[in-house]
Amino acid sequence: MALKVFTTESIGAQRNHIAIYIETDPSEDKGWLHHVTGTILNGMDYTPRQTPNPELLPEHVPGSKKQIGTIEEEDLERFREECCLAVLPPRAQVTLKGTRLYPDTPLYRCTEWLKDVEETAQLMVPHTPYLT
């Protein structure tokens, strides 16, 4: 069965947080959120979790949930392992004083991680990408 895949945003302190939401149970309006959590001060971790539809959560940014494709149910674990876990989460990039640890490298946050996961998903299996 093909499952719908979305990007979604939630309100953040200094900037909004972006994640991938896969609707695994449309009848219950639930699914899985694939995202990284943390900061560019301490680094981030990939922390998937089950969740209600993000639109039902108070931190959801209205109008931000956008369908980006579909994925077959049997490909969910491979998507997690070969895409989400394969793309390294953002590392620590600044000090407490705000000095950049890697000044020649652009900052890499959840948005960039998500784009890399999307790209990996579309390139992983030639002619049969995870996200279609």
Question: What residue segments make up the domains of the chain, in order of their start?
Answer: 2-123
pLDDT of residue 132: 55
Torsion angle of the four alpha carbons 8, 10, 15, 20, in this order, in degrees rounded to the nearest 10: -30
User: What sign does the dihedral 10-33-50-73 (CA atoms) show?
Assistant: positive
| pLDDT averages per 10-residue partition of the chain, 132 residues | 93 89 96 96 97 96 94 92 96 96 96 94 61 58
CA dihedral 14, 20, 21, 24 (to 10 degrees): -160
pLDDT at 123: 73
Q: For residue 61, count other CB atoms closer than 10 A to its CB.
A: 16
Supply 108's token pair: 């890499």
Residue 130: the pLDDT is: 56
- What's the residue count for the chain? 132
Work out whether the CA dihedral 62, 122, 36, 79 comes out positive or negative.
Answer: positive
CA distance 26 to 22: 10
